[in-house]
Amino acid sequence: MADKITYYAIIDDSSSLEHPAGVIRRIENDEREIDEVFSRNLTWEFSSLLYSAEHGDLTNDFTVITEDEATQVIERIRAESVDPE
């Protein structure tokens, strides 16, 4: 099975779907399932946030978004890291 990638907007108390706190992706294939968050280091890094939410941690909400929407969030994070205004 080819990788199946699902993107999620991370929504916390100070963000919204229109301006999410970040983006996380779940990569699934026959061998594994891994979650990665696009970090402030501007790289994809392992994350347990989605797994924790599935097991009762209600700190963040996760909403499925398209790859294009995820790209927009990533571009905003990149821009904010250069110009933190």
Q: Rounded CA gap, 71 and 66, in Å?
A: 9
Residues 1-60 pLDDT 10s: 789 999 999 999 999 999 999 999 999 999 999 999 999 899 999 999 999 999 998 899
Q: Rounded CA gap, 45 and 84, in Å?
A: 21
The DSSP string of 41-81 is: TSSEEE--HHHHHHTT--SSEEEEE-HHHHHHHHHHHHHHH
Range list of β-strands (E), 1-85: 4-11, 22-28, 33-38, 44-46, 61-65
- The pTM of this model reads 0.89
Q: How many CA atoms lie within 13 A of 70 on its CB side?
A: 19
Residues 50-77 pLDDT 10s: 999 999 988 999 999 999 999 999 999 9
pLDDT of residue 67: 97
